[in-house]
Amino acid sequence: MRDRPVLVYDGDCGFCTTCVRFAERRLGPRCVSTPWQFADLEELGVSRQRAEYEALWVTPVGTVHGGSRAVAKLLLSSRGGWPVVGALLGLPVVRRVAHGVYRLVADNRHRMPGGTAACALPGRRPTGT
């Protein structure tokens, strides 16, 4: 069993990598960040298809949170006032809005600053999420 959560992100996406590096420098989350391309996805209990679809937060006991829930968990583990923002993202109404915003950004990350054609997502949602 791991002693820290793992944040899994798309290491081929410049936008995703920039966001994770910003979080590491400025927010100080208590986790290990790793691109899915270098992660042992089987050990983490996630499929490649899901890792391509969304950022993932995998707890030390193996619970997997994806998308905006992964972002909320990242914020909850951070320093300063960021845990408050993470808690707000967990509220039912805010959670629905956060999910929509996350999907909008994730589906268009190849158009975001630092994004490239490699950031474009496959066309369909993975099963089992």
Q: Would you list the DSSP string of 52-92?
A: HHS-EEE-TT--EEETHHHHHHHHHTSSTTHHHHHHHHTSH
Strands annotated E in 29-118? 32-35, 56-58, 64-66
DSSP label at 106? Answer: H
pLDDT of residue 35: 96
Q: What residue spans define the domains of the chain?
A: 6-114
Query: Are 97 and 85 spatial neighbours (Cβ–Cβ below 8 Å)?
Result: no
Give the global pTM.
0.86
Alpha carbon distance 49, 35 (integer Å): 14
- Could you read off the pLDDT of 75-120 as tens digits, one per residue? 999 999 999 999 999 999 999 999 999 999 888 887 776 655 556 6
